[in-house]
Amino acid sequence: MKTVGELMTRDLVTLKETQNLAMADELLRLHRIRHLPVVREGKLVGLITHRDLLKATSNKTPDPAKNPTWAADIMNREVRTVRPDMSLRDSVKLMLDNKFGCLPVVGEDGKLLGILTEADLVRYAQQLLTEMDRMSEAAEYEE
């Protein structure tokens, strides 16, 4: 059975609590992602989503340079996490049941190891569909 650790994204883009929303916006756009884990000394302390950022910037102050909003101000601090050895089946159920777009993957020490996103699951589905198509085509030739 596949595990979270086999599919998770390991090349992470993260943010620190002390970085502002302009940096968060830039990272999301530059890397074409929708979830930014917020870390302190390598450990997950929160999560900012593209939706969080849109909501925060829609209520922006007249001059954000004079009164910036920090990651710590808008991040979700109660983030559901999973371990890399969790089964993929259980993680998908968790995501669907709770309408999560991602699950940060942490070690026992709280260190951020990766993130499992909807995009990771779609890529895996594409791989499985390609394999099924190949098997189907091979079966046609064997008959």
Percent of the chain with pLDDT over 70: 92
Predicted pLDDT of residue 133: 84
Averaged pLDDT for residues 2-12: 96
Cross-strand partners of 105: 82, 114
Predicted pLDDT of residue 88: 96
Averaged pLDDT for residues 94-120: 96
Cross-strand partners of 128: none
Write the pLDDT tens digit of every residue in 30-46: 999 999 999 999 999 99
Q: In what order do the strands lie in the sheet with 43-49?
A: 15-16, 35-40, 43-49
What domains are defined for the chain? 4-142 (3.10.580.10)
Percent of the chain with pLDDT over 90: 78
The answer to whether residue 63 scores a pLDDT higher than 80 is no
Tally helices (H) and strands (E) across the chain. 6, 5
How far is residue 97's CA from residue 94's CA, in Å, rounded to a whole number?
5
The predicted model scores a pTM of 0.85
Average pLDDT of the chain, as a whole number: 91
The answer to whether residue 20 scores a pLDDT higher than 70 is yes
Paired tokens of 140 = 């046609």
Would you place residue 135 in the very low, low, confident or very high pLDDT band (cuts 50, 70, 90)?
A: confident
Neighbour count for residue 58 (Cβ, 10 Å): 7
